């Protein structure tokens, strides 16, 4: 039985390292408080554990009844407004439910889409002016 426990312990350590080093912030909501689960979340919200004054939009997303739903919201990241896609999933652990929230920075994708739209508009305008 000891080898199985050792494998389980190593697997848990590996999983904890993967989660902690994930580049996107991961939060947990237990119905009362939001907690920073990984390094990216701790850095973004400048906390070691519980978010003291989380943004209202984040609390609203955490308390939403829509499970596995994605939504976007703008949050402050080091003084700059950044748009995030928020993915949520409910988990049950030790007979208690909590919600995991993964914040995915989509600002670069939004800028690329805006640039493509602007390029298309300029092409259409250029074509119309020439005709």
The reply to whether 100 falls in a domain is yes
Radius of gyration of the chain (CA): 20
What domain range is 54 assigned to? 23-106
The reply to whether 17 falls in a domain is no
What predicted TM-score, i.e. pTM, was given to this entire model?
A: 0.76
The reply to whether 53 falls in a domain is yes
pLDDT in tens, 42-98: 999 999 999 999 998 899 888 876 666 678 898 877 788 889 999 888 888 888 888
The reply to whether 36 falls in a domain is yes
Phi, psi of 40 (to 5 degrees): -60, -40
The reply to whether 112 falls in a domain is no
Give pLDDT, residue 68. Answer: 63
Of 1 and 9, the structure prediction assigns the larger pLDDT to 9
- CATH number of the domain bearing residue 73: 3.30.450.20
Averaged pLDDT of the chain? 86
| Number of structural domains in the chain | 1
DSSP class of residue 62 equals H
Beta sheet of 96-105, edge-to-edge order:
34-36, 26-29, 96-105, 80-93, 70-77
């Amino acid at each position: 039985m000891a080898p199985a426990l050792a494998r389980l312990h190593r697997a848990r350590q590996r999983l904890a390292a993967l989660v902690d080093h994930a580049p996107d912030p991961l939060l947990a909501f237990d119905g009362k408080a939001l907690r920073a689960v990984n390094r990216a979340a701790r850095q973004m919200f400048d906390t070691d554990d519980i978010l003291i004054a989380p943004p209202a939009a984040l609390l609203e997303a955490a308390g939403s009844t829509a499970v596995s739903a994605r939504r976007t919201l703008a949050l402050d990241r080091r003084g700059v407004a950044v748009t995030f896609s928020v993915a949520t999933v409910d988990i049950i652990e030790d007979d208690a439910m909590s919600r995991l929230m993964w914040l995915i920075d989509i600002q670069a994708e939004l800028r690329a889409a805006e640039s493509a739209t602007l390029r298309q508009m300029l092409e259409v305008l250029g074509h119309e002016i020439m005709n």
